[in-house]
């Protein structure tokens, strides 16, 4: 048995394809088959009903179908693919931030950026003195400095969040 998530015109349906040629759709079991006729044509059979469909695949994995004069935008994904797709879609919506943590205990000598300044990944943003050596710490990500928790001249412990980049 294979389980899929089929999206038709932005409505998701869970579909189970059984090895005996039946399909379970929302608890209802029916006999079904799909036969590819050409690169852009398929024949769908559900119980005793037969439909010919014209199809076009888009670059984002969507399939556009024209069935008996009705137009549908569809996607077919495994449950795992659909979960990954939803996670990726939600990840893009969330606000990301990176905490710049002290890699060792030391004295904060210089903060080279202010709140609101843009930073690029790898750009030097502060100097931390540890064991009588000055360490130029670089930004772990690109973004804008959102907050600064310490001031120059203050001591920091290992793992202390010095600033946040969004």
Predicted confidence (pLDDT) per residue in 36-77, tens digit: 999 899 998 989 999 999 999 887 778 899 998 888 889 988
- The number of angstroms, rounded, from the C-alpha of 115 to the middle of its chain's C-alpha atoms is 29
Q: For the chain, give me the number of helices (H) and strands (E)?
A: 1, 16
For each of the domains in the chain, give its residue range(s) and CATH number, in order of start. 2-93 (3.30.700.30), 98-165 (2.40.50.100)
User: Does 147 have pLDDT greater than 60?
Assistant: yes
What average pLDDT does the structure give for the chain?
A: 88
């Amino acid at each position: 048995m294979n389980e899929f998530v089929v999206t038709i015109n932005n409505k998701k349906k869970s579909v189970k394809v059984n090895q005996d040629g039946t399909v379970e759709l929302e608890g209802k079991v029916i006999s079904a088959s799909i036969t590819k006729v050409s690169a852009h044509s398929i024949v769908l059979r559900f119980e005793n009903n037969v439909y010919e469909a014209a199809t076009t695949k888009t670059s984002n994995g969507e399939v556009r179908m024209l069935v008996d004069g009705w137009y549908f935008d569809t996607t077919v994904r495994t449950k795992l693919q659909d979960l990954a797709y939803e996670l990726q879609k939600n990840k893009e919506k969330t606000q990301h931030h990176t905490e710049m943590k002290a890699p060792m205990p030391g004295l904060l000598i210089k903060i080279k950026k202010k709140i609101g300044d843009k930073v690029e990944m790898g750009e030097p943003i502060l100097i931390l003195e540890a064991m009588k050596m000055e360490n130029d710490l670089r930004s772990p990500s690109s973004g804008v400095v959102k907050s600064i928790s310490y001031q120059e001249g203050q001591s920091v412990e290992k793992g202390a969040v010095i600033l946040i980049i969004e």
